[in-house]
Chain A
Amino acid sequence: MNCNNSNDGTHDLCVQMPSLHNPRSQNAGVIRDPYIPSDSYTDTDLAVEMNAMSFAERQAVEEDIHGVADAIEETPEFIAHSVEAMIQAFQRLNSQQRQALDRAFFLRPALSQDQSFHLMFLRARRFNAHKAALAMAAYFRAKRDLFGDDLLVQRITWNDVCILDVRCRTE
């Protein structure tokens, strides 16, 4: 394995091609999907994923990690176009994925037209409209699951967290 310990204590990226000598690869007759890691994520799994990335993708990851990545320029036209693409992406989600999202938009209709709220998810998913739509649907699903229907479209406050925490302990 090409794993270097640099002077600053950082383990540099370990890149190892799957080989015949790797015991994990010797599971006779088992074909592993490289994108589904096993229970324990090994350096080999990491190597497979890194090798599957293009040079540009790796470069982007490195720049992100070191905080030197170029910020995506957010012009009003770009934002409007991205939000529109995200709204269209909602239509492609299935009913199960949309359930909590639909309820949220029904209860607070202003949310469906709130550009800053959409923008938060677009920024989180680097302006990939489909991923942002999925994230927003997952956001409401998770929020409903954790905090219940009553707080679905409300700001989660310190009081809410404390009340739910106390309720959890007493139960």
Chain B
Amino acid sequence: MVFRSGAYQLFPNHDIGGRGVAVACMSHFDLQDNIRSVCRCIWYVISAVEDDPVMQQKGIVTVVYFGGQWKSSPLHFIRLGTGFPMDAIPIHLVSHHFLCVDTSSNDVIPRVRNLLAKDSRTRVRLHFGSSLELEYAMRTFGIDISRQLFQDDKGDEQSIEKDIQRRQQLDDEWRRSEAPYRESTSPVALLPNPQDILSGRSKLVTTWSGNVMYHKLIEKHVHRYLDAQDGGLDRIDKTLISVDILLLLRNQYQSRFLARENATWVVIDDSDAQKKISRSLRLLAREIGHRLG
């Protein structure tokens, strides 16, 4: 995986200008894997900016090291560059530093530069020299990175592991903060679960997995409703059918009935949910009646 190889990493510390520093080592990339998988990993690395307001304000500097023995061909990198959605990342890319130890990358650099957005292409600086010279060159731009980073075939395992742990902690915190809203007992929901049933008539609602499942369930139970009608059963029996369906949805599928209210999803109460089920049964029964003439 790209993250563990240290091919692309975002340093936990900012540079002296307060900017974030992202380092890509071309020699560490193994692009024989699926390019989309690599794109996902780079996206994940960059998504750390969402938790860091300072980095959002100051932007990030990318440092690309072109030296070492490459595991992937330049063509793979072109595919990666064209496949990665640069225009979608929510970061100000302040500048790019391309570090080269020799002239072997001269053919590749113009192509890599071509993949950058117009605003970014003028922000590229090329540096040539030994790893020591490159380290010092970066320091003149306020970026403190160890030359050791480029010398190994893989990144610093300890710091990568620490970064993964830090990210997992943040993930856990996020999960804990969202968990109460996912409970079936919660009166509000931040976002619907796949099995929740949404109110509304838009395409997004009708194609929602929970709504599709709900309509299948109604189709399955409509014969009971029709039988009740034909047998001359009273209103209470029809109500019992809808209550049965409501309990089935809640207990077996853990579904909630949600309605949008201002900027949130509100769980609608049982009597309204039961009315909604009754209405769905009535409409489908009427439709079947029309079909049968």
List residues of A whose CB falls within 8 A of some B CB.
Answer: 5, 8-11, 35, 37-42, 46, 49-50, 53, 61, 64-68, 71-72, 74, 102-103, 106-110, 112-113, 116, 119-121, 123-126, 134-136, 138-139, 141-143, 145-147, 150, 153-162, 164-165, 168-169
Q: A124 → chain B, closest Cβ, in Å?
A: 5
Q: Known: A11-B125, A46-B121, A124-B91. Is A108-B190 also a contact (CB below 8 A)?
A: yes
Q: Lowest 4 CB-CB distances: which A-B pairs, in order?
A: A67-B17, A142-B85, A142-B88, A138-B88
Q: Quick check: is B275 within 8 A (CB to CB) of the other chain? A: no
Q: Which of B144-152, B163-171, B236-244 contacts A (4 or more CB under 8 A)?
A: B163-171
- Chain B residues near A41 (CB-CB < 8 A): 110-111, 113-114, 121
Known: A65-B95, A146-B39, A155-B171. A120 touches B50 (CB 8 A): yes
With both beta carbons as reference points, the residue of chain B lying nearest to A113 in the complex is identified as B263
Which among A11, A64, A120 is the interface contact of B95 at CB below 8 angstroms? A64
- Number of A-B residue pairs, CB cutoff 8 Å, is 173
Q: Given A39-B114, A139-B88, A147-B40, are A109 and B133 neighbors across the interface (CB < 8 Å)?
A: no
Check A65 against B94 for contact (C-beta < 8 Å): yes
Contacting residues, chain B, for A64 (C-beta < 8 A): 59, 94-95, 123
A109: chain B residues at CB < 8 Å are 260, 262-265
Q: Is the CB of A67 within 8 A of B118?
A: no
A10 to B97 Cα, complex, angstroms: 10
Cβ B111 vs Cβ A158 within 8 A: no
Q: Cβ of B141 and Cβ of A146 under 8 Å apart?
A: no
Complex Cα gap A151–B202 (Å): 21
Q: B86-125: contact bitstring with A at CB < 8 Å (1 yes, 0 no)?
A: 0111111011000000000001001101100010011101
Report A-chain residues with C-beta under 8 Å of the C-beta of B136: 8
Main secondary structure of the interface of A (DSSP, over half): helix
**Which residues from 179 to 199 on chain B have a C-beta closer than 8 Å to any C-beta of chain A?**
190-192, 194
| Cα distance A112–B260 in the bound complex, in angstroms | 13
Q: Among B29-37, B225-233, B284-292, which stretch is in contact with chain A? A: B29-37
Is A120 a contact of B56 with CB atoms below 8 Å? yes
Residues of B within 8 Å of A72, CB to CB, are: 57
A135 touches B90 (CB 8 A): yes
